Chain A
Amino acid sequence: MSFSFDIYDFTSFTKWIDVSLTSYCTPFWAMIWEMLIIGVAILIFYAVVGLFLVYAERKVCAFIQNRVGPNRVGPYGFIQTVADLVKLLFKELVTIKKADKFLFNLAPFIVIIVNFMVIAAIPFAKGLHAVNFNIGIFYMMAVSSMGVIGILLAGWSSNNKFSLIGAMRSGAQIVSYELSVGLSMITMVILAGTMQLTNTYDPVTNQVLVHGIVDLQKDGWFIFTGHLPAIIAFVIFLIAGTAETNRGPFDFAEAESELTAGFHTEYSGIKFALFYLSEFMNMFIVASIAATIFWGGWMPFHLGHIFGDWVSGFNNVMDYIPPFVWYIGKTFVIIWIIMLFKWTFPRLRIDQLLTLEWKYLLPINLINIILMALVVLMGWHF
Protein backbone atom coordinates (compact mmCIF):
# COMPACT_ATOMS: atom_id res chain seq x y z
CA MET A 1 0.00 0.00 0.00
CA SER A 2 1.47 3.33 -1.03
CA PHE A 3 1.80 6.31 1.22
CA SER A 4 -1.24 8.55 1.27
CA PHE A 5 -1.92 11.56 3.40
CA ASP A 6 -5.16 13.49 3.20
CA ILE A 7 -5.75 16.38 5.56
CA TYR A 8 -9.52 15.94 5.20
CA ASP A 9 -9.63 12.22 6.00
CA PHE A 10 -6.98 10.47 8.09
CA THR A 11 -8.49 7.00 7.59
CA SER A 12 -6.18 6.09 4.70
CA PHE A 13 -3.14 7.49 6.54
CA THR A 14 -3.72 5.42 9.69
CA LYS A 15 -4.48 2.39 7.53
CA TRP A 16 -1.18 2.93 5.68
CA ILE A 17 0.70 2.91 9.00
CA ASP A 18 -1.09 -0.28 10.04
CA VAL A 19 -0.51 -2.09 6.74
CA SER A 20 3.15 -1.16 6.47
CA LEU A 21 3.83 -2.13 10.10
CA THR A 22 2.19 -5.55 9.68
CA SER A 23 4.23 -6.14 6.53
CA TYR A 24 7.46 -5.63 8.51
CA CYS A 25 6.68 -7.62 11.66
CA THR A 26 4.23 -10.03 13.29
CA PRO A 27 0.76 -8.74 14.30
CA PHE A 28 1.76 -8.81 17.96
CA TRP A 29 4.76 -6.53 17.45
CA ALA A 30 2.82 -4.36 15.00
CA MET A 31 0.25 -3.79 17.75
CA ILE A 32 2.99 -2.93 20.26
CA TRP A 33 4.56 -0.46 17.80
CA GLU A 34 1.18 1.12 17.07
CA MET A 35 0.49 1.52 20.77
CA LEU A 36 3.93 3.12 21.20
CA ILE A 37 3.37 5.52 18.29
CA ILE A 38 -0.05 6.56 19.63
CA GLY A 39 1.34 6.92 23.14
CA VAL A 40 4.20 9.15 22.02
CA ALA A 41 1.92 11.19 19.74
CA ILE A 42 -0.56 11.81 22.58
CA LEU A 43 2.32 12.61 24.94
CA ILE A 44 3.70 15.28 22.60
CA PHE A 45 0.22 16.66 21.95
CA TYR A 46 -0.40 16.74 25.70
CA ALA A 47 2.78 18.66 26.45
CA VAL A 48 2.34 21.15 23.60
CA VAL A 49 -1.32 21.89 24.34
CA GLY A 50 -0.62 22.06 28.07
CA LEU A 51 2.17 24.60 27.62
CA PHE A 52 0.08 26.64 25.22
CA LEU A 53 -2.88 26.65 27.64
CA VAL A 54 -0.71 27.97 30.48
CA TYR A 55 0.41 30.80 28.19
CA ALA A 56 -3.16 31.43 27.02
CA GLU A 57 -4.44 31.55 30.58
CA ARG A 58 -1.85 34.17 31.55
CA LYS A 59 -2.62 36.25 28.48
CA VAL A 60 -6.40 36.08 28.99
CA CYS A 61 -5.96 36.97 32.65
CA ALA A 62 -3.74 39.90 31.70
CA PHE A 63 -6.23 41.01 29.04
CA ILE A 64 -9.07 41.10 31.54
CA GLN A 65 -7.01 42.83 34.23
CA ASN A 66 -5.72 45.41 31.74
CA ARG A 67 -2.13 44.19 31.84
CA VAL A 68 0.27 43.00 29.15
CA GLY A 69 1.08 39.57 30.57
CA PRO A 70 4.19 37.58 29.64
CA ASN A 71 6.10 39.62 27.02
CA ARG A 72 9.86 39.08 27.50
CA VAL A 73 10.74 35.56 26.33
CA GLY A 74 10.17 35.17 22.62
CA PRO A 75 7.70 37.15 20.50
CA TYR A 76 4.73 38.22 22.68
CA GLY A 77 6.23 36.13 25.49
CA PHE A 78 5.32 32.99 23.61
CA ILE A 79 8.23 30.90 24.94
CA GLN A 80 7.70 32.01 28.52
CA THR A 81 6.01 28.75 29.51
CA VAL A 82 8.82 26.69 27.99
CA ALA A 83 11.24 28.61 30.17
CA ASP A 84 8.97 27.99 33.17
CA LEU A 85 8.92 24.30 32.38
CA VAL A 86 12.72 24.13 32.18
CA LYS A 87 12.89 25.87 35.53
CA LEU A 88 10.45 23.37 37.04
CA LEU A 89 12.43 20.45 35.61
CA PHE A 90 15.58 21.60 37.39
CA LYS A 91 13.89 22.21 40.72
CA GLU A 92 14.56 19.98 43.66
CA LEU A 93 12.00 17.26 44.40
CA VAL A 94 11.51 17.77 48.12
CA THR A 95 10.83 14.52 49.96
CA ILE A 96 8.43 14.95 52.83
CA LYS A 97 9.70 13.14 55.89
CA LYS A 98 6.42 12.03 57.44
CA ALA A 99 4.46 11.59 54.21
CA ASP A 100 3.31 8.28 52.78
CA LYS A 101 5.96 8.26 50.07
CA PHE A 102 4.45 5.55 47.88
CA LEU A 103 1.04 7.23 47.59
CA PHE A 104 2.64 10.69 47.46
CA ASN A 105 4.58 9.72 44.34
CA LEU A 106 1.72 7.72 42.84
CA ALA A 107 -0.90 10.49 42.99
CA PRO A 108 0.33 12.71 40.09
CA PHE A 109 0.57 9.68 37.83
CA ILE A 110 -3.05 8.65 38.48
CA VAL A 111 -4.20 12.13 37.47
CA ILE A 112 -2.08 12.09 34.30
CA ILE A 113 -3.02 8.52 33.27
CA VAL A 114 -6.72 9.33 33.61
CA ASN A 115 -6.23 12.32 31.31
CA PHE A 116 -4.49 10.15 28.75
CA MET A 117 -7.23 7.55 28.78
CA VAL A 118 -9.87 10.18 28.08
CA ILE A 119 -7.83 11.85 25.33
CA ALA A 120 -7.54 8.46 23.60
CA ALA A 121 -11.29 8.49 22.89
CA ILE A 122 -11.53 12.04 21.55
CA PRO A 123 -12.08 12.22 17.78
CA PHE A 124 -9.64 14.92 16.62
CA ALA A 125 -10.46 14.71 12.93
CA LYS A 126 -12.03 12.30 10.52
CA GLY A 127 -10.31 8.97 11.16
CA LEU A 128 -8.00 10.44 13.80
CA HIS A 129 -8.83 8.84 17.13
CA ALA A 130 -7.11 6.13 19.17
CA VAL A 131 -10.14 4.12 20.29
CA ASN A 132 -13.73 4.13 19.11
CA PHE A 133 -16.01 2.16 21.42
CA ASN A 134 -19.73 1.77 20.97
CA ILE A 135 -20.02 3.29 24.44
CA GLY A 136 -17.71 6.25 23.60
CA ILE A 137 -19.27 8.90 25.82
CA PHE A 138 -19.91 6.50 28.68
CA TYR A 139 -16.27 5.39 28.49
CA MET A 140 -15.13 9.00 28.84
CA MET A 141 -17.38 9.49 31.87
CA ALA A 142 -16.24 6.21 33.42
CA VAL A 143 -12.54 6.92 33.02
CA SER A 144 -12.65 10.54 34.08
CA SER A 145 -14.50 9.58 37.28
CA MET A 146 -11.21 8.11 38.50
CA GLY A 147 -9.33 11.41 38.34
CA VAL A 148 -10.55 12.46 41.76
CA ILE A 149 -8.68 9.52 43.34
CA GLY A 150 -5.35 11.14 42.45
CA ILE A 151 -6.38 14.39 44.12
CA LEU A 152 -7.66 12.61 47.25
CA LEU A 153 -4.47 10.55 47.53
CA ALA A 154 -2.28 13.63 47.04
CA GLY A 155 -4.12 15.49 49.79
CA TRP A 156 -4.00 12.67 52.30
CA SER A 157 -0.48 11.42 51.72
CA SER A 158 1.07 14.89 52.06
CA ASN A 159 0.35 14.76 55.81
CA ASN A 160 -0.65 18.41 55.83
CA LYS A 161 -3.88 19.96 57.09
CA PHE A 162 -4.27 22.33 54.15
CA SER A 163 -3.73 19.54 51.66
CA LEU A 164 -6.25 17.32 53.40
CA ILE A 165 -8.92 20.04 53.52
CA GLY A 166 -8.27 20.86 49.87
CA ALA A 167 -8.62 17.22 48.89
CA MET A 168 -11.84 16.82 50.89
CA ARG A 169 -13.35 19.87 49.25
CA SER A 170 -12.38 18.80 45.80
CA GLY A 171 -13.74 15.31 46.46
CA ALA A 172 -17.14 16.65 47.54
CA GLN A 173 -17.18 19.02 44.58
CA ILE A 174 -16.20 16.54 41.88
CA VAL A 175 -18.46 13.76 43.13
CA SER A 176 -21.49 16.05 43.13
CA TYR A 177 -20.82 17.86 39.85
CA GLU A 178 -20.15 14.58 38.08
CA LEU A 179 -23.92 14.02 38.27
CA SER A 180 -24.66 17.17 36.32
CA VAL A 181 -21.97 16.51 33.74
CA GLY A 182 -23.26 12.98 33.23
CA LEU A 183 -26.92 13.96 33.04
CA SER A 184 -26.33 16.76 30.54
CA MET A 185 -24.33 14.34 28.40
CA ILE A 186 -27.19 11.81 28.64
CA THR A 187 -29.55 14.52 27.39
CA MET A 188 -27.49 14.74 24.22
CA VAL A 189 -27.27 10.95 23.97
CA ILE A 190 -31.08 10.89 23.86
CA LEU A 191 -30.99 13.29 20.91
CA ALA A 192 -28.19 11.39 19.15
CA GLY A 193 -29.62 7.94 19.83
CA THR A 194 -26.10 6.54 20.22
CA MET A 195 -23.09 6.81 22.51
CA GLN A 196 -20.53 6.04 19.85
CA LEU A 197 -18.44 9.03 18.82
CA THR A 198 -17.40 8.14 15.27
CA ASN A 199 -18.92 6.02 12.51
CA THR A 200 -17.81 2.43 12.14
CA TYR A 201 -17.66 1.14 8.57
CA ASP A 202 -18.00 -2.34 7.22
CA PRO A 203 -14.43 -3.31 6.18
CA VAL A 204 -15.58 -4.88 2.90
CA THR A 205 -18.53 -2.92 1.56
CA ASN A 206 -17.50 0.35 3.25
CA GLN A 207 -21.06 0.96 4.42
CA VAL A 208 -21.85 2.60 7.73
CA LEU A 209 -22.48 -0.01 10.43
CA VAL A 210 -23.10 2.28 13.39
CA HIS A 211 -23.59 6.03 13.23
CA GLY A 212 -21.38 8.10 15.47
CA ILE A 213 -22.29 11.30 17.28
CA VAL A 214 -19.92 13.47 15.23
CA ASP A 215 -21.10 12.14 11.88
CA LEU A 216 -24.74 12.55 12.91
CA GLN A 217 -24.19 16.31 13.12
CA LYS A 218 -23.55 16.57 9.41
CA ASP A 219 -26.74 18.54 8.74
CA GLY A 220 -26.40 20.83 11.71
CA TRP A 221 -24.75 20.69 15.11
CA PHE A 222 -26.77 19.29 17.97
CA ILE A 223 -26.95 22.64 19.71
CA PHE A 224 -29.02 23.89 16.73
CA THR A 225 -30.96 20.74 15.91
CA GLY A 226 -31.82 20.10 19.57
CA HIS A 227 -32.65 23.82 20.14
CA LEU A 228 -34.01 24.60 23.66
CA PRO A 229 -33.12 21.43 25.64
CA ALA A 230 -29.73 21.25 23.93
CA ILE A 231 -28.92 24.84 24.87
CA ILE A 232 -29.96 24.23 28.48
CA ALA A 233 -27.81 21.09 28.55
CA PHE A 234 -24.89 23.04 27.06
CA VAL A 235 -25.06 25.74 29.72
CA ILE A 236 -25.30 23.15 32.49
CA PHE A 237 -22.41 21.21 30.99
CA LEU A 238 -20.22 24.31 30.89
CA ILE A 239 -20.95 25.18 34.53
CA ALA A 240 -20.57 21.63 35.80
CA GLY A 241 -17.52 21.02 33.63
CA THR A 242 -15.81 24.09 35.06
CA ALA A 243 -16.54 22.79 38.55
CA GLU A 244 -15.27 19.31 37.62
CA THR A 245 -11.91 20.70 36.62
CA ASN A 246 -11.47 22.56 39.92
CA ARG A 247 -11.21 25.88 38.14
CA GLY A 248 -12.33 29.25 39.33
CA PRO A 249 -14.95 30.29 40.41
CA PHE A 250 -15.07 26.75 41.81
CA ASP A 251 -11.40 26.42 42.84
CA PHE A 252 -11.83 25.58 46.54
CA ALA A 253 -9.48 22.66 46.30
CA GLU A 254 -6.59 25.09 45.99
CA ALA A 255 -8.03 28.34 47.26
CA GLU A 256 -4.74 30.24 47.60
CA SER A 257 -6.01 32.71 50.14
CA GLU A 258 -7.30 30.02 52.50
CA LEU A 259 -5.35 26.83 51.86
CA THR A 260 -1.97 28.03 50.46
CA ALA A 261 -2.28 25.71 47.46
CA GLY A 262 -4.71 23.01 48.53
CA PHE A 263 -3.99 19.43 47.68
CA HIS A 264 -0.66 20.10 45.96
CA THR A 265 0.87 22.32 48.64
CA GLU A 266 3.67 19.84 49.38
CA TYR A 267 4.53 19.01 45.79
CA SER A 268 7.53 20.59 44.11
CA GLY A 269 9.37 20.52 40.82
CA ILE A 270 8.10 18.26 38.10
CA LYS A 271 5.52 16.54 40.33
CA PHE A 272 3.84 19.88 40.88
CA ALA A 273 4.09 20.52 37.15
CA LEU A 274 2.21 17.28 36.48
CA PHE A 275 -0.70 18.43 38.65
CA TYR A 276 -0.63 21.88 37.12
CA LEU A 277 -0.55 20.50 33.59
CA SER A 278 -3.30 17.97 34.27
CA GLU A 279 -5.55 20.75 35.52
CA PHE A 280 -5.18 22.57 32.21
CA MET A 281 -5.60 19.37 30.26
CA ASN A 282 -8.78 18.62 32.20
CA MET A 283 -10.09 21.94 30.98
CA PHE A 284 -9.05 21.01 27.45
CA ILE A 285 -10.85 17.65 27.78
CA VAL A 286 -14.06 19.24 29.07
CA ALA A 287 -13.91 21.78 26.25
CA SER A 288 -13.35 19.14 23.61
CA ILE A 289 -16.18 16.95 24.93
CA ALA A 290 -18.46 19.99 24.83
CA ALA A 291 -17.26 20.79 21.31
CA THR A 292 -17.83 17.18 20.24
CA ILE A 293 -21.32 16.57 21.56
CA PHE A 294 -22.78 20.06 21.20
CA TRP A 295 -20.85 21.76 18.41
CA GLY A 296 -20.16 18.76 16.20
CA GLY A 297 -16.47 18.08 16.96
CA TRP A 298 -14.49 18.17 13.72
CA MET A 299 -17.68 18.45 11.64
CA PRO A 300 -17.67 21.67 9.60
CA PHE A 301 -20.50 24.15 10.02
CA HIS A 302 -23.24 22.87 7.73
CA LEU A 303 -26.69 24.24 7.11
CA GLY A 304 -29.59 21.82 6.78
CA HIS A 305 -31.59 21.54 3.56
CA ILE A 306 -34.64 23.21 5.08
CA PHE A 307 -33.04 26.53 4.13
CA GLY A 308 -33.25 25.77 0.42
CA ASP A 309 -30.92 24.52 -2.27
CA TRP A 310 -28.27 27.23 -2.00
CA VAL A 311 -26.89 25.66 1.22
CA SER A 312 -24.96 22.94 -0.62
CA GLY A 313 -22.65 25.61 -2.06
CA PHE A 314 -22.17 27.09 1.41
CA ASN A 315 -21.54 23.62 2.86
CA ASN A 316 -18.91 22.93 0.21
CA VAL A 317 -17.08 26.14 1.09
CA MET A 318 -17.13 25.10 4.75
CA ASP A 319 -15.75 21.67 3.83
CA TYR A 320 -12.57 23.31 2.50
CA ILE A 321 -11.51 24.11 6.05
CA PRO A 322 -9.82 20.93 7.37
CA PRO A 323 -11.69 19.06 10.15
CA PHE A 324 -8.77 19.33 12.56
CA VAL A 325 -8.90 23.12 12.31
CA TRP A 326 -12.63 23.05 13.07
CA TYR A 327 -12.05 20.84 16.08
CA ILE A 328 -9.22 22.95 17.50
CA GLY A 329 -11.11 26.17 16.80
CA LYS A 330 -14.27 25.05 18.59
CA THR A 331 -12.33 23.65 21.52
CA PHE A 332 -10.38 26.86 22.02
CA VAL A 333 -13.51 29.01 21.84
CA ILE A 334 -14.97 26.97 24.71
CA ILE A 335 -11.67 27.12 26.59
CA TRP A 336 -11.76 30.88 26.23
CA ILE A 337 -15.28 30.98 27.71
CA ILE A 338 -14.14 28.83 30.65
CA MET A 339 -11.15 31.13 31.18
CA LEU A 340 -13.45 34.14 31.18
CA PHE A 341 -15.45 32.47 33.99
CA LYS A 342 -12.35 32.24 36.13
CA TRP A 343 -11.31 35.84 35.82
CA THR A 344 -14.77 37.46 36.03
CA PHE A 345 -16.58 35.66 38.85
CA PRO A 346 -15.49 35.69 42.50
CA ARG A 347 -14.96 32.36 44.22
CA LEU A 348 -18.09 30.78 45.70
CA ARG A 349 -18.34 29.42 49.24
CA ILE A 350 -18.47 25.65 49.66
CA ASP A 351 -22.11 25.68 50.79
CA GLN A 352 -23.08 27.90 47.85
CA LEU A 353 -21.33 25.47 45.55
CA LEU A 354 -23.23 22.46 46.87
CA THR A 355 -26.53 24.38 46.87
CA LEU A 356 -26.00 25.35 43.24
CA GLU A 357 -25.51 21.73 42.27
CA TRP A 358 -28.11 19.91 44.35
CA LYS A 359 -30.88 22.50 44.49
CA TYR A 360 -30.64 24.12 41.05
CA LEU A 361 -28.61 22.29 38.43
CA LEU A 362 -29.77 18.76 39.27
CA PRO A 363 -33.56 19.42 39.18
CA ILE A 364 -33.22 21.56 36.03
CA ASN A 365 -31.19 18.76 34.47
CA LEU A 366 -33.76 16.08 35.29
CA ILE A 367 -36.61 18.17 33.86
CA ASN A 368 -34.44 18.92 30.83
CA ILE A 369 -33.97 15.20 30.17
CA ILE A 370 -37.76 14.70 30.16
CA LEU A 371 -38.09 17.70 27.83
CA MET A 372 -35.48 16.29 25.50
CA ALA A 373 -37.16 12.87 25.50
CA LEU A 374 -40.44 14.59 24.62
CA VAL A 375 -38.80 16.58 21.82
CA VAL A 376 -37.24 13.44 20.36
CA LEU A 377 -40.44 11.40 20.70
CA MET A 378 -42.61 14.06 19.06
CA GLY A 379 -40.00 14.74 16.37
CA TRP A 380 -39.76 18.43 17.27
CA HIS A 381 -36.05 18.54 16.52
CA PHE A 382 -34.61 19.40 13.13
Chain B
Amino acid sequence: MSGNQFMFYLFGAVIVIFSILAVTSRKILRAAVFLLFVLIATSGLYFMLNYQFLAAVQLTLYAGGIVVLIIFSILLTSHISEKFEPIKPQKSIFSALAAIIGAVLCIITLLDYNFKAGNAIAADLDMTVIGKALLSYKYDGYILPFEVISILLLAAMIASIVIAKKIKK
Protein backbone atom coordinates (compact mmCIF):
# COMPACT_ATOMS: atom_id res chain seq x y z
CA MET B 1 0.00 0.00 0.00
CA SER B 2 1.45 3.33 -0.99
CA GLY B 3 1.43 6.41 1.21
CA ASN B 4 -1.21 8.06 -0.92
CA GLN B 5 -3.57 5.10 -0.66
CA PHE B 6 -3.05 4.88 3.08
CA MET B 7 -3.84 8.58 3.54
CA PHE B 8 -6.89 8.25 1.29
CA TYR B 9 -8.30 5.39 3.36
CA LEU B 10 -7.49 7.25 6.56
CA PHE B 11 -9.33 10.38 5.44
CA GLY B 12 -12.19 8.27 4.11
CA ALA B 13 -12.54 6.45 7.42
CA VAL B 14 -12.43 9.74 9.36
CA ILE B 15 -15.12 11.25 7.12
CA VAL B 16 -17.45 8.23 7.40
CA ILE B 17 -17.03 7.69 11.15
CA PHE B 18 -17.39 11.32 12.15
CA SER B 19 -20.30 11.92 9.77
CA ILE B 20 -22.19 9.13 11.51
CA LEU B 21 -21.19 10.47 14.93
CA ALA B 22 -22.27 13.99 13.96
CA VAL B 23 -25.85 12.89 13.28
CA THR B 24 -26.12 10.40 16.14
CA SER B 25 -24.55 12.46 18.94
CA ARG B 26 -27.06 13.67 21.50
CA LYS B 27 -25.06 16.72 22.52
CA ILE B 28 -25.26 19.55 20.04
CA LEU B 29 -21.77 20.99 20.51
CA ARG B 30 -20.20 17.56 20.14
CA ALA B 31 -22.10 17.15 16.87
CA ALA B 32 -20.64 20.46 15.69
CA VAL B 33 -17.11 19.31 16.60
CA PHE B 34 -17.59 16.04 14.73
CA LEU B 35 -18.75 18.06 11.73
CA LEU B 36 -15.54 20.05 12.04
CA PHE B 37 -13.48 16.85 11.80
CA VAL B 38 -15.41 15.81 8.67
CA LEU B 39 -14.71 19.16 7.02
CA ILE B 40 -11.00 19.07 7.92
CA ALA B 41 -10.66 15.54 6.53
CA THR B 42 -12.35 16.70 3.30
CA SER B 43 -9.77 19.45 2.96
CA GLY B 44 -7.11 16.79 3.51
CA LEU B 45 -8.47 15.01 0.43
CA TYR B 46 -8.09 18.25 -1.55
CA PHE B 47 -4.50 18.56 -0.34
CA MET B 48 -3.90 15.02 -1.61
CA LEU B 49 -5.16 16.09 -5.03
CA ASN B 50 -2.58 18.92 -4.95
CA TYR B 51 -5.43 21.41 -5.23
CA GLN B 52 -4.12 23.46 -2.32
CA PHE B 53 -6.18 26.53 -3.01
CA LEU B 54 -9.48 24.67 -2.67
CA ALA B 55 -8.16 22.91 0.45
CA ALA B 56 -7.28 26.22 2.08
CA VAL B 57 -10.65 27.69 1.07
CA GLN B 58 -12.34 24.66 2.62
CA LEU B 59 -10.39 25.24 5.85
CA THR B 60 -11.05 29.01 6.04
CA LEU B 61 -14.68 28.98 4.99
CA TYR B 62 -16.01 25.78 6.51
CA ALA B 63 -13.70 24.91 9.40
CA GLY B 64 -12.67 28.44 10.37
CA GLY B 65 -15.82 30.26 9.31
CA ILE B 66 -19.03 28.29 9.33
CA VAL B 67 -18.18 25.89 12.16
CA VAL B 68 -17.01 28.80 14.30
CA LEU B 69 -20.33 30.51 13.57
CA ILE B 70 -22.26 27.35 14.49
CA ILE B 71 -20.27 26.93 17.72
CA PHE B 72 -20.75 30.61 18.52
CA SER B 73 -24.52 30.36 18.16
CA ILE B 74 -24.57 27.18 20.26
CA LEU B 75 -22.58 28.99 22.95
CA LEU B 76 -25.15 31.77 22.98
CA THR B 77 -28.24 29.59 23.04
CA SER B 78 -27.76 26.22 24.72
CA HIS B 79 -26.63 25.08 28.13
CA ILE B 80 -24.10 22.34 28.77
CA SER B 81 -26.60 20.07 30.49
CA GLU B 82 -28.97 20.02 27.50
CA LYS B 83 -29.28 16.77 25.59
CA PHE B 84 -31.43 15.74 22.68
CA GLU B 85 -34.29 13.38 23.43
CA PRO B 86 -33.43 9.81 22.52
CA ILE B 87 -34.95 9.08 19.12
CA LYS B 88 -37.81 6.59 18.97
CA PRO B 89 -36.81 3.22 17.46
CA GLN B 90 -39.31 3.27 14.57
CA LYS B 91 -38.16 6.76 13.61
CA SER B 92 -34.51 5.72 13.57
CA ILE B 93 -35.35 2.58 11.56
CA PHE B 94 -37.11 4.62 8.87
CA SER B 95 -34.37 7.24 8.69
CA ALA B 96 -31.71 4.53 8.55
CA LEU B 97 -33.64 2.89 5.71
CA ALA B 98 -33.87 6.19 3.83
CA ALA B 99 -30.15 6.84 4.31
CA ILE B 100 -29.16 3.33 3.20
CA ILE B 101 -31.41 3.48 0.10
CA GLY B 102 -29.90 6.87 -0.81
CA ALA B 103 -26.37 5.57 -0.30
CA VAL B 104 -27.06 2.44 -2.37
CA LEU B 105 -28.50 4.54 -5.20
CA CYS B 106 -25.43 6.80 -5.16
CA ILE B 107 -23.02 3.87 -5.11
CA ILE B 108 -24.83 2.12 -7.99
CA THR B 109 -24.70 5.28 -10.11
CA LEU B 110 -21.03 5.82 -9.29
CA LEU B 111 -20.10 2.23 -10.11
CA ASP B 112 -22.12 2.42 -13.33
CA TYR B 113 -20.03 5.25 -14.67
CA ASN B 114 -16.83 4.13 -16.29
CA PHE B 115 -14.21 6.21 -14.44
CA LYS B 116 -10.77 6.05 -15.97
CA ALA B 117 -7.87 6.25 -13.55
CA GLY B 118 -5.12 8.51 -14.83
CA ASN B 119 -1.48 8.00 -14.08
CA ALA B 120 -0.47 11.63 -14.50
CA ILE B 121 0.96 13.34 -11.44
CA ALA B 122 -1.40 16.04 -10.23
CA ALA B 123 0.19 19.38 -11.13
CA ASP B 124 0.21 22.47 -8.96
CA LEU B 125 -2.45 24.91 -10.04
CA ASP B 126 -0.90 28.32 -10.41
CA MET B 127 -2.62 30.95 -8.30
CA THR B 128 -2.52 33.50 -11.13
CA VAL B 129 -4.71 31.20 -13.26
CA ILE B 130 -7.38 31.14 -10.55
CA GLY B 131 -7.11 34.89 -9.99
CA LYS B 132 -7.37 35.74 -13.66
CA ALA B 133 -10.28 33.37 -14.21
CA LEU B 134 -12.18 34.92 -11.29
CA LEU B 135 -11.77 38.46 -12.60
CA SER B 136 -12.01 37.78 -16.34
CA TYR B 137 -15.12 38.90 -18.26
CA LYS B 138 -14.33 36.75 -21.29
CA TYR B 139 -16.19 33.49 -21.97
CA ASP B 140 -14.11 31.52 -19.45
CA GLY B 141 -14.30 34.17 -16.72
CA TYR B 142 -16.32 34.23 -13.53
CA ILE B 143 -16.66 37.96 -12.93
CA LEU B 144 -20.48 37.94 -13.20
CA PRO B 145 -21.15 35.19 -10.60
CA PHE B 146 -18.43 36.75 -8.43
CA GLU B 147 -20.16 40.14 -8.48
CA VAL B 148 -23.64 38.65 -8.05
CA ILE B 149 -22.49 36.77 -4.95
CA SER B 150 -20.87 39.91 -3.53
CA ILE B 151 -24.12 41.84 -3.97
CA LEU B 152 -26.04 39.02 -2.30
CA LEU B 153 -23.64 39.04 0.65
CA LEU B 154 -23.80 42.83 0.91
CA ALA B 155 -27.60 42.68 0.95
CA ALA B 156 -27.50 40.01 3.66
CA MET B 157 -25.11 42.10 5.75
CA ILE B 158 -27.21 45.26 5.47
CA ALA B 159 -30.34 43.26 6.30
CA SER B 160 -28.76 41.79 9.43
CA ILE B 161 -27.64 45.25 10.58
CA VAL B 162 -31.20 46.58 10.06
CA ILE B 163 -32.67 43.67 12.02
CA ALA B 164 -30.17 43.99 14.86
CA LYS B 165 -30.48 47.78 15.15
CA LYS B 166 -32.42 49.22 18.04
CA ILE B 167 -35.43 51.23 16.94
CA LYS B 168 -35.42 54.73 18.43
CA LYS B 169 -38.82 55.91 19.54
Contact = CB atoms under 8 A, between A and B. Distances in A.
Given A98-B81, A100-B27, A103-B29, A28 B68 contact: no
Contacts of A135: 52-53, 56, 127
A145 B59 contact: yes
Nearest to B124: A134
Contacts of B74: 156
Contacts of A141: 56, 60
A210 B124 CA distance: 11
Given A31-B3, A139-B56, A149 B71 contact: yes
B65 interface: yes
Contacts of A210: 126
Question: How many A residues touch the partner, as a band?
Answer: 35 or more
Interface stretch (A77-85, A163-171, A300-308): A163-171
A168 B75 contact: yes
B108 interface: no
A142 B57 contact: yes
A297 B60 CA distance: 25
A74 B34 CA distance: 46
Contacts of A32: 3
B80 to A, nearest CB: 5
A134 B127 contact: yes
B33 interface: yes
A137 to B, nearest CB: 10
Contacts of B41: none
Interface string B1-15: 111001000000000
Interface in B13-66: 27, 29-30, 33, 36, 40, 52-53, 56-57, 59-60, 63-65
A208 interface: no
A45 interface: no
Given A100-B29, A102-B30, A195-B127, A149 B67 contact: yes
Interface in B51-104: 52-53, 56-57, 59-60, 63-65, 67-68, 71-72, 74-76, 80-81
Q: Which DSSP category, helix, strand, loop or mixed, fits chain B's interface? A: helix
Give the one of B64, B76, B80 with max A CB within 10 A.
Answer: B64
A100 B30 contact: yes
Interface string A134-162: 11001101110110110011011101000
Contact of B59 (A27, A146, A164): A146
Nearest to B4: A28
Contacts of A380: none
Given A103-B29, A167-B75, A149 B36 contact: yes
B36 to A, nearest CB: 7
Contacts of A171: 68, 72, 75
Contacts of B81: 98
B127 A194 contact: yes
A45 to B, nearest CB: 23
Given A27-B3, A146-B64, A155 B75 contact: yes
Contact of B71 (A98, A152, A195): A152
B68 A152 contact: yes
Interface string A85-104: 00000000000001110110
12 contacts: A28-B1, A103-B29, A134-B52, A142-B56, A145-B68, A146-B40, A152-B72, A153-B71, A156-B71, A159-B80, A164-B75, A210-B126
Interface of B: 1-3, 6, 27, 29-30, 33, 36, 40, 52-53, 56-57, 59-60, 63-65, 67-68, 71-72, 74-76, 80-81, 124-127
Given A152-B75, A156-B29, A171-B75, 10 more contacts: A27-B3, A31-B3, A32-B3, A135-B127, A142-B57, A145-B60, A145-B63, A145-B65, A149-B71, A171-B72
Interface of A: 27-28, 31-32, 98-100, 102-103, 106, 133-135, 138-139, 141-143, 145-146, 148-149, 152-153, 155-157, 159, 164, 167-168, 171, 175, 194-195, 210
